[in-house]
Chain A
Amino acid sequence: MSLSADQVRQVAHLARLELKSEQVEHYARQLSNILDMVGQLSQAQTAEVSPMAHPLDMVQRLRPDAIAEENRREAFQSIAPAVQDGLYLVPKVIE
C-alpha cells in the first residue's frame, strides 16, 4: 500500500495539520513504509473473530448525576493562549 503526496495532503487536512511542502514527499514515503508493514495483517484468518476494542471485559461504570467538580474557570483560563473577559479568543468565524 503506498500513499501519494496528494493522499498525504488530504490526510493532513483531515487531521488539521499544516505540512511544509518539502515534508510531503518524505512523509508519503515513510507512511507508505508503515502501511506496508501493517499490510501483514491481511495474512491473519479473522473471519470468525470478533473485534477487541479493549483488554478488559468491563461495562461502562455509571455515577450519580451529581455535581462533583468545583468551577475552576480562572485556573483553566490562566493557561489558555488567548482569553478576554472570561472567553477564549479565536479568529473571527462569522463575517
Chain B
Amino acid sequence: MHTLSIKALAVGLRSKKFSARELAAHFLKRIEAHDGKLNSYVTVCADSALKEADAADARLARGEGEPLTGIPLAHKDIFCTQGVKTACGSRMLDKFVAPYDATIVARLKRAGMVMRGKANMDEFAMGSSNETSWYGPVKNPWDPTRVPGGSSGGSVAAVAAGLAPVATGTDTGGSIRQPAALTNLTGIKPTYGRVSRYGMIAFASSLDQAGVLGRSAEDCASVLEAMAGFDPMDSTSVDRPVDNYAAALDKPIEGLRIGLPKEYFAEGLAPGARDCVMNAVKKLQELGATVQEISLPNSPLSVPTYYVVAPAEASSNLARFDGVRYGHRAEGVKTLEELYKRSRGEGFGAEVQRRIMIGTYVLSHGYYDAYYLKAQKVRRLIYDDFKRAFQSVDLVLGPTATDVAFKLGAKTDDPVAMYLNDIYTIAANLAGIPAMSLPCGFVDGLPVGMQLMGNYFDESRLLNVAHRYQQATDWHTKLPKGFE
C-alpha cells in the first residue's frame, strides 16, 4: 500500500481492497518499524488519525468521498493543527498546541485526508539539512549517514521511506525543492499567493509559500489542487481561480520552449548531477520540447539578496515570541526585559539566533540603505531577469541542488557553506514564481533532482511537463533499500 500512487490508493479504497482505517494503520506500522532510524515524524497522531480514517470510510461508504478522502498525509510541523502539538522544530514551541487549523490543514481535512502525523523540520524552517531541529536531525532514507535536505526534511524522509504517501512542505528559499531532490521525490512550490499562509508559522512573509512533496507530479497535482485557492484570512492570497492541474497532466509537450540558464550550469555544479540534468533535457527534447540557452545574469546575487531579505523579515516575524502569550518562558526572571531575553535565548537555537541578529543588524539605523534597501533593489533585478526570460521560453530548467545529499554534520559549523546549498532555488522565491523539483537520475546510488521554474500561476504547465517526463522515465519510481 505504501508504494501506490494516490490515484491507486483511491481506487483501492473504493473497490474495498482496503479501508481508510487499514491504510492509516499500515502507515502507523511502518512508522513504528522504520522511523526510529529516520526521525522523520515529531508527532504521530494515534487516535485522531483513526477517527479521521473512520469518518473517511463512512463518507466513502455513502458514496460521498472526494478524490483524496481516506488518503493519509504528513503535515510539516510548521502548520498549525488544532489540538495537536505544533512545534515548528523549536524548543520555543515545544509545548505549543495550536488553537486553530491552518487554512491548508482545514482544506485537506475537509477533503477527507487523514493526518498521520507532523513531520520534523529545521527550526522555524531555517536550514537546508534538517540539522537545526530541536528534535534532532532527520536521516536520509537513501543513506542514513546523509542529510535529507531541509527545511522540509521530515516531510521528504517520511514520503521517501514510505511512511506517508504524500506530505505538505513550505519553501522560503528552496525548502521543498532541495529536500525533494536529495530524496528522489517530486515537490512543488507554487506561485507566491497561490496557497494560503494563514496558520503557517511565518519565517519570511514575502517569500514563504506552502506546497506538496510526493512521489510523482500526479500525486502533487491532486493535493495542490485541494490546497490552493483564495483565502480571505491571508492578506497576500490571490483571488484567482485554481487551474484543474490533474486535467492538464497528459497534454502533449510538443513545441514547449525550455530555457537553460547558463549561470545554473557554471562552476559549482557537480559533474555527475550535471550529466543527470542534461540527460533529462535530452529526454524532454525527444518528447518534443525545444531547448535554448538563456541568461539570468543576476542569479549569482540571489543568495546574498536572500540573506538580507529573509533574516530581516524573520527578525520582525519572530519578535512575537516574547514568553508571555505562548511559547517558551524562562524561569526565575525578575524583570520584563530579562523575561524576553532569557526566554528567547533559551527558546531559539543557534541558526535562528544568527538570522534574527543578521536581520536586526541589516534593519538597524545606518545600515538599512546599504543592506536592506540594496537587497530589495537587487531583488527587482532578479525578478526582471525572469520576466525577460519568459518572453522567449515557457519554462526554465536547471539543477535543483549542486550535488547529491551531503553527510550529516558536514556543513553545520559553516553557515555560509550551508546557505550556498540553495544557490539554484532561492531566485524563484525572490521573484515569486512557481518552481518544482523532480527526480532525474542517480550518482553513486544517491538521487539527483532537476528543477523546473515557470511563469506566474503556471503550476499547471510545470506539473504537465513533470508528468510527461515521468511517463517516459522511471527515476521517480525507485525506492531506497530497506524501505521497499
User: What is the chain A residue whose CB lies nearest that of B331?
Assistant: A81
- CB pair A33–B326 under 8 Å, yes or no, is no
> Nearest A residue to B330 by beta-carbon distance?
A18
The CA of A23 and the CA of B350, in the complex, are separated in Å by: 9
Residues of A close to B99: CB separation below 8 A: 72, 75-76, 78-79
Interface string of B347-386 (1 = CB under 8 A from A): 0101001101111111010000011011111111101000
Is A5's beta carbon under 8 Å from chain B? no
Whether, in the assembled complex, A91 has its beta carbon less than 8 Å from a beta carbon of chain B, the answer is yes
Q: A17-B341, A37-B307 are in contact. Are A27 and B326 (CB under 8 A)?
A: no
Tell me how many residues of A have a C-beta within 8 Å of chain B.
54
Chain B CB within 8 A of A46 CB: yes
Which residue of B308, B333, B341, B358 is within 8 Å of A16 (Cβ)? Answer: B341
> Are B97 and A88 interface neighbours, CB within 8 A?
no
A80 to B: closest C-beta gap in Å: 6
Contact of B307 with A46 in the complex, beta carbons under 8 Å: no
- CB–CB A61/B192 < 8 A: no
Q: Within 8 Å CB of A30, what residues of B?
A: 354, 415
* Chain A residues, CB < 8 A from B307: 34, 37-38
Q: Nearest chain A CB to B171's CB is how many angstroms away?
A: 13
Q: How far is the CA of A60 from the CA of B361 in the complex (A)?
A: 28
Q: Which of A15, A35, A54 has a CB less than 8 Å from the CB of B360?
A: A15
> Secondary structure of the B side of the interface?
helix
Taken residue by residue from 7 to 23, chain A's Cβ proximity to chain B (1 for < 8 Å, 0 otherwise) reads as 11001111111111001
Q: Are B431 and A55 in contact (CB under 8 A)?
A: yes
A66 within 8 A of B: no
Chain A, Cβ-Cβ closest to B361:
A11
Which residues of B are found within 8 Å of A58, using beta-carbon distances?
Answer: 193, 236, 238
B373-431 at interface with A (beta carbon < 8 Å): 373-381, 383, 414-416, 419, 430-431
Chain A residues, Cβ within 8 Å of B350: 23
Q: Tell me the minimal C-beta distance from B49 to chain A in angstroms.
A: 23
Interface membership of A93, Cβ < 8 A: yes
- Looking at the assembled complex, report how far the CB atom of A60 sits from the nearest CB atom of chain B, in whole angstroms: 7
CA distance A8 to B325 in the complex (A): 28
Known contacts A16-B337, A31-B361; is-contact A41 B324 (Cβ 8 Å): no
Task: Output the residue of A42, A63, A90 with the most chain B CB within 10 A.
Answer: A90
A71 lies within 8 A of chain B by Cβ:
no
Contact with A along B300-327 (1 / 0, CB 8 A): 1101110110000001000100111111
- Tell me if B338 counts as interface (CB < 8 A to partner A): yes
Q: Is A53 an interface residue (CB 8 A)?
A: yes
- Taking CB atoms, residues of chain B closer than 8 Å to A82 are 329
Q: CA–CA, A90 to B327, complex, Å?
A: 14
A63: which B residues are within 8 A, CB to CB?
Answer: 232
Name which residue of chain A comes closest to B235, CB basis.
A61
Is A55 in contact with B432, judged by CB distance below 8 angstroms? yes
Q: How far is the CB of B42 from chain A (nearest CB, A)?
A: 18
B268-300 with Cβ < 8 A to chain A:
298, 300
23 A–B contact pairs at CB < 8 A?
A11-B361, A12-B357, A15-B359, A16-B319, A16-B340, A17-B356, A23-B350, A27-B354, A37-B419, A38-B304, A38-B307, A40-B301, A41-B301, A41-B374, A49-B380, A55-B207, A55-B433, A56-B432, A63-B232, A81-B327, A81-B329, A88-B324, A91-B334
Residues in chain A within 8 A of chain B (CB atoms)? 3, 7-8, 11-20, 23, 27, 30-31, 33-44, 46, 49-56, 58, 60-61, 63, 72, 75-76, 78-82, 88, 90-91, 93
Q: Apart from A55-B206, A58-B193, A58-B236, what 20 extra A-B contacts exist at CB < 8 Å?
A: A11-B357, A11-B360, A12-B357, A15-B357, A15-B360, A16-B322, A16-B340, A31-B354, A35-B361, A43-B301, A46-B374, A49-B378, A49-B380, A52-B379, A52-B380, A55-B432, A56-B432, A79-B97, A90-B324, A91-B338
